[in-house]
Amino acid sequence: MRQLHILLPVALLLSACGMIDGNTDGPQPSRTTERLPAATGETRQCLANLSSRGVEYRRLPDRNFANGCRAIGAVQLVQVGTPTRNLGAMTCPLADRYARWTREVLQPAAERHFGEQVSLVETFGTYGCRNISGTGRLSEHGKANAIDISAFNLSGGRRITVLNGWNNSDSRERRFLRDLHRGACERFEIVLGPDANADHRNHFHFDMGSRGPYCR
Ligand SMILES: [Zn+2]
């Protein structure tokens, strides 16, 4: 990790979301890219993987927005096994990793720490046309390639937020959230949480951008 600190533009990574003052509504789509194109080989394989895991999704037309923002090869997840609020356009690789993370990391962790299921994941969304906070570089959210996750509702009624749970006096909440973070680092390219910077005190940012791997 020390080496990564030297090699990577850490300041950019640590503020990959910039979501607080970000504009979450994209501009209107351009008319030229409305139709649903044939999926590339890579996307086709990814879509097949989603289907084989029982994930239900709807393919979205490729969209180019102003300022370089875009959603190419994206899907709308319909059913991943864990209800999730606020999911918008997601690139197929991001959707695939998210579905796997809910099954392989999230639900087992809830079972392990609380003996319960996660009944709802709350997110701040996926697509959002914005730059990385404090920079002129496009956030992965501007490519539908990132998700911000803020809270988890358990079947017994407990609600665990990243904001209050990360350093909670209840060690189960702390360990649960750290297990989710660690499991994400093994599956996504860039993972940021409360220890990354103040921007991420209230959510986990997972993305499939090319600047990783990075885990903080
Ligand atoms: Zn984010």
pLDDT by position in tens, the chain (length 216) = 334 333 344 433 444 444 333 333 444 344 444 556 677 888 999 999 999 999 999 999 999 999 999 999 999 999 999 999 999 999 999 999 999 999 999 999 999 999 999 999 999 999 999 999 888 999 999 999 999 999 999 999 999 999 999 999 999 999 999 999 999 999 999 999 999 999 999 999 999 999 889 999
State the distance from the centre of ligand 1 to the C-alpha of 32, rounded, in angstroms.
28
State the distance from the centre of ligand 1 to the C-alpha of 147, rounded, in angstroms.
6
Instruction: Tell me 75's DSSP state.
Output: E
Q: Which domains occur in the chain, in start order?
A: 2-7+17-24+81-215 (3.30.1380)
State the distance from the centre of ligand 1 to the C-alpha of 19, rounded, in angstroms.
7
- CB contact at 8 A, 178 and 172: no
State the distance from the centre of ligand 1 to the C-alpha of 109, rounded, in angstroms.
22
Q: Which residues surround ligand 1, an ion (CB under 5 A)?
A: 17, 146, 148, 205
End-to-end CA distance of the chain: 9
